[in-house]
Chain A
């Protein structure tokens, strides 16, 4: 019961305030009075000199001390001991407290000569921390916690059936499940209120991230115990570095850290910041940043208010976690080195007008470049008479590897291929009249000598989506015609497939158009993470919910080979189409075997749930779950097998698949047998119960006026109705004369 006035203990009167030991509280909340000593500093580590040399030393010292402020007249007091020698320290009074603070900051640790280094501290601090009893006279080494075995964070990879896990967030529950294809997923863990906003996997699948009002928590291991906690009140978004070493947390509200609002592991310096970059291994913050407010137009040309779009992630990671960079739009890119989080070469890279940049998603392997480098691509718009530019910059050398000038640019998007072999710059160009838009694709072949650029400019319409094949060199794009103003119907779109020509000598040929499928509504492209298969879908639409499953390396039956597409490195085939009402998200499993389509309650409340397809587009399972929010496959770290071992497996695929088929069949048979057994049992139980009921009825004297369970009525009751229908076919009247 909450204490109220009525049920307060009566014997309070006997309570003696004197007895309470307040000392711990007093210590903790001790108020630092303005003692007038704030302008004092203590300088330590001075040479010990006789009285005669004291003035000389003070004079020497003053030269140093006056660099940061004005020392008061006779403001240096250097006491003597009984031998008339100085003690090696001095008290210094500055004109103002802030000068004293500046002196501590600037002069602490500055060397006087080879032997002596100054230690400058505030007098109040010495009093505060160095008072008697506060410091242990004897040195006690810090105790090292005994090593504790942690749970294996990657145990899920050892699943004997090599199944994949998925996290599902529905209602207030978050659970992790094994994918069981057609059958209901097998639960691994399921917890009520595990997260407050959403869940997210770390990029290698080690941690499941839950987001709370107080901060972010990472979960993992077999027992799904808490692995790490990062306190960031009001956190909105999180972003991991690619190798899971660091995590960025962001809140739209600046952090408030002060004496009244202490936040664990954050200090006063983090007050007012929006971003915190943390080291996952230690759980400590590395550095925090405030949002850069770029003054930009709040209304567009027509006078409509512009919604400010936030770029996320704001801090972009290089492929190997060595660098993280942030752009100040229109001005510069700041590259920070990890783990110290210092600005590379102590200054931001000035790039006038920079609009966007992207790191290469893998460590690039450029032709003839042996030294370590990371690349990023950026673009700048037309500035005055200067053309728009796309550039590739190498880090840490900051050398610009390649630039390309562009004209009439209204917007550009940067698309790296997953292995950093290409970067495609999708350039939206306007005509002179600025009325119509067309798109050029400028493809930088990063791995080839001199980074040649290939231009695909055969596209008349605006490209609304573009995606590279992961680990491949084919791509899909979606174009749309002019958007008719004030029309409720979204314009039809066209899906185009591209691939390189076949070329001799293992080089990648020029990119050629394979096929365009038009009169579609599609707006989204989802490649299988292993390449080859791609889903082109219509998401977030009110009218259509198509999913098209394409195969780009379809193997035709041998007898109907066509010679037409021989020079292309692709053979396009539509494998299946499906329809998932209200689909909002599409998630491929990390192996590219299965794909889940989700109708999330984050977007709408119609038929929330998921569908599970295999890569060919066969529907395996559908489930409707009220308030279904997220389905996320657990990512897998890259394989540890060498190229040779992988090739070996691919060679013997036939043998393996036979084995797997047998296993699947056996599993299915046992499952089927169980189901049949269960049904047989139910049926027998039911029949026994019915028999019991019939006996009971007979005892009660019940005759069956209505035949029990509808067995066809007694034959005698059947009444035969004969109906004679006469139909006049023709009627003729003859006059008999």
Chain B
């Protein structure tokens, strides 16, 4: 599994995303630039300029026509993927920590930071999936998180619920139509921030990563913790792999907590766990800073990770990755 190193960013990566076909990778970093890359060879397709601050988040719609970004310049922006044209800018009072399209691409969700008297909110806009259309300024829904600020959020299957992860280690379920809080459950240790939330392909369950050094697999309908993966380092990201029943966790000692610069010490590795048996299968080294985000190819043929070290590492899985099976899995496969 020889990685391709994407070294186009000048500062720490904050999020990396595959488009739905898996041929393009979008990456955002604290250097204010959005990059698009070909996933198979790591060639840079283009950049999107315009943001005035560090970027926190990126997402692409299912048809790979629209790209949404959010950052510390208190704006959420919509771009045309093909041309890099800025289509729309929404201004906010605080920075945008997370953006996500709904599964049908007709809604866009943004999570705003809590700061200077402004509470953290989850906002939703209806999106016209046409690049020439005028995008609305009207928020179709606004959820205020007064208990604990939301750090991550996303749409469930059929855009039925909005699931959000919070700073205090809880996960909540909102009705995506009314914004009503349906459930709020503490899944991680108290006051251990939920750092990432990524969906299974059919969005009936998702995985959360947390500073409490664990990742949890949670069902969408009742927020029941199905599986728990514990590691020895704070986690920044967790992803579910299609095809094989694995999860990939990324994290590492935050740069401010590391006393020595030894890469060995910081545990800057992507860790593979078996999704069902919750056992660690392997690790991938390479980054020399904490992993801020891991994303999996939608077809399950590879993954990429963005690190605090400013690099994106793109990996294509080898044959042994697909061949590996537990005895009981092989039994079933042979039935």
Contact = CB atoms under 8 A, between A and B. Distances in A.
Interface string B229-262: 0001000000000110100000000000001101
A694 B245 CA distance: 17
A700 interface: yes
Interface stretch (B26-34, B184-192, B286-294, B325-333): B325-333
B239 to A, nearest CB: 13
Contacts of B219: 689, 693
B157 A708 contact: no
Nearest to B275: A686
B234 to A, nearest CB: 12
A21 B202 CA distance: 81
B62 to A, nearest CB: 7
A626 B329 CA distance: 34
B157 A702 contact: yes
A710 B243 contact: yes
Interface string A666-710: 000000000010011011001001000110110011101111111
A710 B298 contact: yes
Contact of A706 (B202, B204, B327): B202
A581 interface: yes
Interface in B179-197: none
A26 to B, nearest CB: 54
Interface in B285-322: 298-300
A624 interface: yes
Interface string B103-139: 1000000000000000000000000000000000000
Contact of A679 (B226, B259, B265, B326): B326
Nearest to A706: B201
Contacts of B259: 605
Contacts of B331: 680
A683 B328 contact: yes
B332 A676 contact: no
B298 to A, nearest CB: 7
A170 to B, nearest CB: 13
B221 A709 contact: no
Contacts of A710: 201, 242-243, 298-300
B242 to A, nearest CB: 3
Contacts of A700: 157-158, 160
Nearest to A701: B158
Contact of A697 (B157, B242, B243, B298): B157
Nearest to B205: A693
Contact of A682 (B204, B221, B276, B300): B276
A606 B242 contact: no
B265 A607 contact: yes
Given A679-B328, A710-B201, A624 B158 contact: no
Contacts of A686: 245, 276
B262 to A, nearest CB: 8
Nearest to B160: A700
B257 to A, nearest CB: 11
Contacts of A682: 276-277
A190 to B, nearest CB: 19
Contacts of A581: 264
Contacts of A606: 260, 262, 265
Nearest to B329: A683
A689 B219 CA distance: 10
Nearest to A626: B232
Interface string B12-43: 00000000100000000000000000000000
Contacts of A713: 299
Contact of B201 (A624, A626, A707): A707
A237 B157 CA distance: 64
A624 B265 CA distance: 12
A706 B20 contact: yes
B328 A693 contact: no
A705 B103 contact: yes
Interface string A610-651: 000000000000001010000000000000000000000000
B157 A680 contact: no
Interface string B196-223: 0000111011000000000000010100
Contact of A676 (B158, B276, B327): B327
Nearest to B242: A710
Given A693-B204, A709-B201, A710-B243, A676 B300 contact: no
Contacts of B232: 624, 626
Interface string A695-733: 011001110111111101100000000000000000000
A705 B62 contact: yes
Interface string A561-598: 00000000000000000000100000000000000000
Interface string B263-282: 01100000000001100000
Contacts of B243: 709-710
Nearest to A700: B158
Given A689-B226, A710-B298, A702 B265 contact: no
Interface string A456-491: 000000000000000000000000000000000000
A683 B226 CA distance: 12
A606 B261 CA distance: 12
A697 B202 contact: yes
A702 B158 contact: yes
Nearest to B244: A710
A708 B158 contact: no
A697 B204 contact: yes
Contacts of B326: 679
Contacts of A697: 157, 202, 204
Contact of A708 (B202, B226, B245): B202
Residue from the set B204, B277, B326 with the largest chain A CB neighbour count within 10 Å? B204
Nearest to B20: A706
Contacts of B277: 679, 682-683
B143 to A, nearest CB: 22
A704 B204 CA distance: 12
B166 to A, nearest CB: 25
Contacts of B20: 706
Contacts of B204: 693, 696-697
A710 B241 CA distance: 9
B49 to A, nearest CB: 31
B158 A704 contact: no
Contacts of A704: 202
Contacts of A689: 219, 226
A709 B298 CA distance: 10
Contacts of A679: 276-277, 326-328
Candidate in A581, A683, A702, A710 with the most chain B CB atoms within 10 angstroms: A710
A184 B328 CA distance: 23
Interface in B61-117: 62, 103
A712 B297 CA distance: 13
B260 A709 contact: no
Which one of B202, B243, B298 has the highest number of Cβ atoms from chain A below 10 Å of its Cβ?
A: B202
B37 to A, nearest CB: 19
A129 B219 CA distance: 80
Nearest to B260: A606
Interface hub of B264, B298, B328, B332 (most chain A Cβ within 10 A): B328
Interface string A108-134: 000000000000000000000000000
Contacts of B300: 710
B298 A706 contact: yes
B226 A709 contact: no
Contacts of B329: 683
7 contacts: A626-B232, A686-B245, A689-B226, A700-B157, A706-B202, A710-B201, A710-B298
Given A680-B331, A696-B204, 9 more contacts: A606-B260, A679-B277, A679-B326, A686-B245, A693-B205, A697-B204, A702-B157, A706-B62, A706-B103
Interface of B: 20, 62, 103, 157-158, 160, 200-202, 204-205, 219, 221, 226, 232, 242-243, 245, 259-260, 262, 264-265, 276-277, 298-300, 326-329, 331-332
Q: Can you list the 10 inter-chain pairs with the closest CB atoms, starting with the nearest?
A: A710-B242, A693-B204, A708-B202, A686-B276, A679-B328, A680-B328, A710-B300, A710-B243, A682-B276, A606-B265
